Structure formats: structure tokens, C-alpha cells
């Protein structure tokens, strides 16, 4: 048991590499500039130049792209412990919007803070870049899901992946997790209509696999669900570069 309260990011990275005292200190110091954002109002708008990155410490955010015809596609979610706009700030571009799904708490990270931290603790830099690479792998897996899975498998896979991510920061388990998303969020994420999302959720529920209701996801049959989704957590679990 740690006697200190660690940030979700610290928790996440610690699951994959043992961080030294010095590294922990640098990591916590990145959380100095605390910010709050209210649900529903975009933090960063498509096309806008990013000024800073954020480390999400509480609440959920989604990043999405709007189409000319008004439909939107959610590309990814950020949950506590995730970086937000990391690439944007390193490369001065932002090609999609960020919207807080609930009221959130985040730490603002300036480019200079980040570069300084990287210079001081190369292992920490590696760990953070690894986390970023993991996020990209999830976007790719998301693409595969939309392209090659039917609605049921898509939904199942998404919920399982989300569960795994949350479990890393102690916010979920194989039993389920709290989830503030609406069925419209799911629709925009999975490339389905809201109506069909509802049908799909009913099916999964009636098959005794998973329940999505009242802001809570409950896994009734984790193994069965993973089978349906052909969920292979390999792309999430790789301890990869850190141990090399």
C-alpha cells in the first residue's frame, strides 16, 4: 500500500514499469497546473492551434471529427490517466475536437514542462511515449472494428477495451465499471445509429453477456463476451519497450 495518493497517470505507468522516487517526483510535478472544464463545452476545436496538452485526472473526454453533413465520428475516449492533445502540442496541429463528457479535472502541461521532464528522466520519457503509442494502437484497432466487425462484436469489443483501460487505473474490473456515456456516444463511436445501438445492447443483455444501464456497465459473462468480440488484449498488454 502506498501511503501517498498517486495520480491515475502514475498508476497506469507503474503497472508497466517500476518508477524510481526521482521519476515519481518529476511525474507528480507535471500535475501542478490544475484546470477544470465543464461537460459539453469543447476544450479544443477542430482546426484550432493547440496551446497545451493535458493529463486527465478525473472525468471522461472524447475526441471526435465533425463531417460537413453534420454527422460526427468519435475517434477515441480519454479516461483518467490519459494524455489529451499530446501529439497536437508536439506538432502544433490539432485535427479534431475535444469535448468533456462530464465535468473534468485535468493538469495543463506546457511543451517546456514536458521537454524538461523528458530531459531529466529518459525512462519516464520512454514510458510516456509508450503510453502514447498504445493509444494509437487503440485507434487502429478501432478502425479494424468498424471496418470488419458487425454491430454486436463491435459493441462487445468496445466495452471490453474500455473495461481494460479503466481497470488499469483502478476504475473497473472484469465485473464492470461506471460509464457516463449515452447511447448516442456509443453510436457516434461505433459508426452505428442510436436506434441500432439500442437494439444491439438489448441483444447482448438478453444473451446474458453484458448490461449497459443507468451509467453502469456490468459484465455478466466476461469470457462469453470476449469470445463474441474475438477480443485479444495483446495490443493493450504488451509490456514492450520498457523492459528492453
* Residue ranges that bind DNA, judged by CB under 7 A: 150-152, 182-184, 191-196, 198-199, 201-202, 213
152 binds, among its own copies, DNA, none (CB under 5 to 8 A by kind): DNA
184 contributes a contact to its own copies by CB under 8 A:
no
Restricted to residues 82-111, the positions that interact with its own copies (CB under 8 A) are 87, 90-93, 95-96
Could you give the angle at the alpha carbon of 180 between the alpha carbons of 45 and 219, nearest 5°?
130
Q: Which of 43, 46, 51 is nearest to 78 (CA)?
A: 43
Residue 53 or 201 with smaller CB distance to DNA: 201
Shortest spacing between CB 241 and its own copies, in angstroms: 4
Q: List, in order, residues 6 or more apart from 160 with CB less than 8 Å away.
A: 222, 225, 226, 229, 231, 233
147 contributes a contact to its own copies by CB under 8 A:
yes
241 contributes a contact to its own copies by CB under 8 A:
yes
Stretch that binds its own copies, among 4-12, 18-26, 132-140, 206-214 (CB under 8 A): 132-140
Give the DSSP letter of residue 40: T
Distance in angstroms (rounded) separating the CA atoms of residues 172 and 168:
8
224 contributes a contact to its own copies by CB under 8 A:
no
Nine-digit cell string for 177: 465499471
Binds its own copies by CB under 8 A, chosen from 22, 115, 129, 195: 129
Distance in angstroms (rounded) separating the CA atoms of residues 6 and 76:
25
DSSP-derived pairing of the beta strands 176-178 and 172-173: antiparallel
Q: 155 near 204, Cβ under 8 Å?
A: yes
- Interacting residue ranges for its own copies, rule: CB under 8 A: 47, 65, 67-69, 71-73, 75, 87, 90-93, 95-96, 129-130, 133, 136-137, 139-144, 146-149, 190-191, 230, 232, 234-235, 238, 240-241, 244
Amino acid at each position: 500500500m502506498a501511503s501517498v495518493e498517486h495520480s491515475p497517470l502514475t498508476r497506469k505507468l507503474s503497472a508497466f514499469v517500476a518508477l524510481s522516487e526521482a521519476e515519481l517526483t518529476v511525474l507528480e510535478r507535471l500535475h501542478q497546473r490544475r484546470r477544470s472544464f465543464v461537460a459539453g463545452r469543447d476544450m479544443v476545436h477542430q482546426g484550432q492551434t493547440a496551446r497545451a496538452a493535458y493529463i486527465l485526472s478525473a472525468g471522461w473526454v472524447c475526441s471526435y471529427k465533425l463531417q460537413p453533413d453534420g454527422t460526427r465520428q468519435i475517434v477515441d475516449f480519454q479516461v483518467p490517466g490519459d494524455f489529451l492533445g499530446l501529439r497536437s502540442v508536439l506538432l502544433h496541429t490539432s485535427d479534431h475536437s475535444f469535448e468533456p463528457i462530464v465535468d473534468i479535472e485535468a493538469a495543463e502541461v506546457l511543451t517546456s514542462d514536458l521537454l524538461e521532464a523528458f530531459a531529466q528522466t529518459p525512462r519516464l520519457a520512454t514510458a510516456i511515449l509508450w503510453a502514447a503509442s498504445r493509444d494509437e494502437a487503440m485507434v487502429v484497432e478501432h478502425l479494424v472494428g468498424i471496418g470488419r466487425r458487425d454491430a454486436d462484436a463491435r459493441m462487445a469489443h468496445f466495452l471490453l477495451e474500455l473495461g481494460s483501460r479503466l481497470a488499469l487505473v483502478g476504475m473497473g474490473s472484469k465485473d464492470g465499471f461506471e460509464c457516463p456515456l449515452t447511447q448516442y456516444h456509443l453510436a457516434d463511436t461505433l459508426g452505428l445509429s442510436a436506434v441500432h445501438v439500442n437494439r444491439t445492447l438489448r441483444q447482448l443483455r438478453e444473451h446474458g453477456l453484458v448490461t449497459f444501464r443507468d451509467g453502469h456497465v456490468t459484465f455478466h459473462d466476461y469470457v462469453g463476451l470476449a469470445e463474441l468480440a474475438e477480443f485479444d488484449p495483446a495490443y493493450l498488454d504488451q509490456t514492450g519497450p520498457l523492459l528492453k
